[in-house]
Each structure stands twice: as C-alpha cells, then as structure tokens.
Amino acid sequence: MDPDEFRRAGYAVVDWIADYWTTLGKRPVTSQDPPGAVAAALPASPPEHGEPVEAVLADLDTLITPRLTHWQHPGFFGYFPANTSGPSVLGDLVSSGLGVQGMLWATGPACTELETVMLDWLAGIMDLPERFRSTGPGGGVIQDSASSATLVATLGALHRASGGRWRAVGIDRRYRAYTSTQGHSSIEKAARIAGLGEDGVRPIEVDPETLAMRPAALRAAIEADRAAGDVPAIVVATVGTTSTTAVDPLPEIGAICAEYGVWLHVDAAYAGAAAVCPELRWSHAGLELADSYCFDPHKWLLTGFDCDAFWVADRGELIEALTVMPEFLRNAATESGAVIDYRDWQVPLGRRFRALKLWFVLRWYGVEGLRAHIRTGVALADRFARRVAADDRFELAAPHPFSLVCFRLRAGDEASAALLDRVNGTGRVHLTHTRVGGRYTLRLAVGSPLTAEEHVDEAWELLASAASDVVAG
Ligand code: PLP
C-alpha cells in the first residue's frame, strides 16, 4: 500500500467508523448469535491474492459488527465503561502511522517526553499530590491496564520489603499483600505472578454499609502476619470498587502503611477520572500517603483502550526494582542519567506511543470538556437511581457516588436475575450484575459519550415494565 492508496483507503475507513458511530444506537447492544458464528462465517484460509479495503469493510458490516458487544452504544451499561472518542481514535491512528517504539528515550525522544508531560498534565488537572509529578522524586507512566499497574506496584513493593534482596534471591520468605474483600481480581493475579502464592493476598473485611475496607481489620491482619514471621509488602486500596464503587478510607489506611513500612498502592481504575471534577475529589483524600496510584483514562475519560495512567512517589525505587541493561540497549542518553527510559517502569520492553491519544483528547475536550463528561455520567446515574428509589418493588443496594447504580428487586435473587435476562434480551440495553452482601444485584454503569437522558430513561422503562412480569411470575 503506497501513501496514495493509504490516503484513499484511510478516508474510507474513517467514513466507516463515523457511520458506525452514527448508526450505533439503532443496533442491538449485544450479539444475538451463538458462539462459533463468526469463526464459521470466515474462510478457512487467507486470500491468495490481495483484496481492496472496501471488501474488508463490507465484511465488517456483515460478519463482524452484528456479532459484537457494542461498548460505545448509548444503551451499554455493563461492567465499567470503556470509552473511546474521535480524538482518541485519531491520536491512536497517528501512533500507528508513526510506528515508534518508545522503550528508551533514545528510541523515541518525543514519545517519552510527551508521555511525561501528559502524566504531569493529568496529575495537575486531578490535583494529585506533588510527589507524583516528574518535577519531584516521582513521576507517571502509561501502562496498558490497571492490572499491569498493580503488578508493577507489587514488584516495587517486593523490592522495598526485601531491602533490595528480591532482585537477586527472589521470593525467599512469605510476603503478603492486602486488599479489601471488594478489591479487584487483578490484585490476586499480580500476587500470583509475583510469586506470593495462593494465599499471598489477605482479604480484608469491609464495613457492611459502605463496603469500604475497615482499617482496624487491616491493622489486625498486618500484625498477625508480622507475628507469624511474614512480611507485609503491599496494601492495595481501592477508590471505586468494581462491584459498587466503594471508596476505601485512604487517610487511615495510609497511616497504617506508614507505620509498618508497607507500600500503599491505590487502584482507582474507574473512579479516578472523577478527580478532574473538584467536587468529586473527596474520594482521593489521603492520596498523599500512597506510594503509587493508577486510574484508567480508557474507562471513563474518553481515551480508548489501552491507557492506564500510573504514578509512583519514588521513581528511583521502581527503576531500581525493574531495570535491566543488556549491551544492545546501552546508549549515551541513558548513561547520562538525564532521561527517562520507560522500559524500566513496566513489564514489557517495547511500548507504543500512547501519549498521543491522551494529547489529542486533552487538547480537543479541554479540562472543561472532560469535567462535563464526568458530570453528565454522575447526573444520569443519579437520575436513574431516583427512579429506582421511587419504585417500591426495587431497592438500591449501595451508595452511588459516581456513575454506577447498584439495585435489585425486593422479590429476591431469582427475580432480579430473571429481570436482568429479560431487559438484556431486548437488545436495547446491556447491564451486568454482581453480588452485594451475598445478594444478586444489577449494575447500571453510565459512561458512553453517546448516552443521554433518553437512554437512561429507556433503560428504566424496560426494567420497570419487565419487573411487573417477573414479579407477577
Ligand atoms: N481495578 C478495578 C477497581 C477495576 O474496576 C478494574 C476493571 O474494571 C480493574 C482494576 C482492571 O482494569 P484493567 O482492565 O485496566 O486491568
């Protein structure tokens, strides 16, 4: 494909994406086909001779898009949002076109420096503690996901907890990680990968009302482990838990971590984006006590997957934990000590120019545009929650400080599960579920940039009318 062919085909692809977004609301949110339908529709082998891009676009229309879960659909309320946006797509396109590998400053000076500045910009607009900025001892980096951020934090914590021995001797004693019973499954996975073993993560009890970690229970677990000769290495506190968006009390948890010299990582994968709004920053109180922090612009900040923003308070400690220097990567800039080599801040060596999509997003929307997006989500969730609260057949299952509403039918688990099946079966909306206090609970998470009042109202009307059938049996 020469540049002129690329230009022509590229315009067609951009048109195709714009058409997809314009028609999205009319499609069913999820695929109606059984597993295997896509594979069965595809040829067994690739074409012998090249085909035009138009042929691929036609197949996208007939084979692929009808069999997708449409995450950008205005009726998509499942899991947490995974926003994308025009500027994000364009930034990613430029990144793909440049094809830069930013593993070292020397392999992509602008790739590295733009990333450092974007993370400082984000820290600024979210009012994150000074210690996370690159102008101090800390700094930020883009990871692919919050799961990777937790893994990297765990490795930094092991380095610290072992007094630097971990790099040489590996896991030679029982290191412990702690998170609330509501902590994300990626914490268990990180601990497993890091070699902490099956019971490496201590689940800490939560307050039954707020579902936030109980600091007294954390203290008791750390003390019990220390008494048993184990080494508490990391606490992962959550701002916006996956089930219900509970917020762990960072000031108390941070004080305990400081007392026992334990690394505090704050996982704000979804809810962190809320900190662009001053009125939602209460959720980050105590963050100055954290050793690391992450949130996913790819969830709720209009930036397509993958983009996790991860900060550490002491970049030297992290680099010491992860650095390797094979001969083929040696270069004068690294040796000068004057540059950042982001390969030392993550698990893989290679890395894409992901800062571009953030730059495009931040410049297109401006801070006010980002705040407006978050505020819309919060207001729509509240609108929905008020309808739930006003209907006696339903109850809210947890507070809704952000854009997630957890609710259920008073008639019980079976009725709530049947209700979810019914409304999802309409193809107009897609919600997911969790369990709160052991009870089956529906989750409605607002976040698609296309979602407006009419879509939240439609979701409520579908639920309210299906509830009549379900409760009547
Ligand atoms: N942490 C929390 C609190 C989450 O809610 C999620 C996903 O929803 C994750 C971590 C994992 O995010 P990622 O897909 O970026 O690894």
What's the CA-to-centroid distance between 299 and ligand 1, angstroms? 9
Q: Whose CA is nearest to atom 6 of ligand 1?
A: 269
Q: 310 - beta bridge partners?
A: 141, 294
Q: What pLDDT does 32 receive?
A: 85
Q: What pLDDT does 472 receive?
A: 78
C-beta 296 within 6 A of ligand 1: yes
Q: What pLDDT does 463 receive?
A: 98
| Residue pointed to by tokens 């959550």 | 238
C-beta 184 within 6 A of ligand 1: yes
What is the homologous superfamily of the domain 366-472 according to CATH? Aspartate Aminotransferase, domain 1 (3.90.1150.10)
The CATH class for the domain spanning 3-68 reads mainly alpha
**Mutational pocket test of ligand 1: of 144, 270, 303, 305, the residue with most ligand atoms within 8 Å of the beta carbon:** 270
Q: What pLDDT does 197 receive?
A: 85
Strands 439-445, 432-436: pairing is antiparallel
Atom in ligand 1 nearest the alpha carbon of residue 305: 15
pLDDT digits over 422-439, tens only?
999 999 999 999 999 999
C-beta 308 within 6 A of ligand 1: yes
Q: What pLDDT does 283 receive?
A: 97
**Mutational pocket test of ligand 1: of 299, 301, 308, the residue with most ligand atoms within 8 Å of the beta carbon:** 299
CATH architecture of 100-352: 3-Layer(aba) Sandwich (3.40)
Q: What pLDDT does 147 receive?
A: 97
List of the chain residues with pLDDT < 50 = none
What's the sign of the alpha-carbon dihedral 433, 265, 326, 108? positive
The interface predicted TM-score of the complex, written ipTM, equals: 0.98
C-beta 238 within 6 A of ligand 1: yes
**What is the Cβ-side half-sphere exposure of residue 386, based on CA atoms within 13 angstroms?**
9
Yes or no: say if 254 and 286 are a contact pair by the CB < 8 Å rule.
yes
C-beta 239 within 6 A of ligand 1: no
Q: What pLDDT does 471 receive?
A: 85
Atom in ligand 1 nearest the alpha carbon of residue 149: 16
pLDDT digits over 82-103, tens only?
989 999 999 999 999 999 999 9
Q: What pLDDT does 318 receive?
A: 96
pTM value is 0.96
What's the CA-to-centroid distance between 58 and ligand 1, angstroms? 34
C-beta 145 within 6 A of ligand 1: yes
Q: Whose CA is nearest to atom 14 of ligand 1?
A: 145
Instruction: Report domain extents, the chain.
Output: 3-68, 100-352, 366-472
What's the CA-to-centroid distance between 19 and ligand 1, angstroms? 30
Q: What pLDDT does 40 receive?
A: 94
C-beta 242 within 6 A of ligand 1: yes
C-beta 269 within 6 A of ligand 1: yes
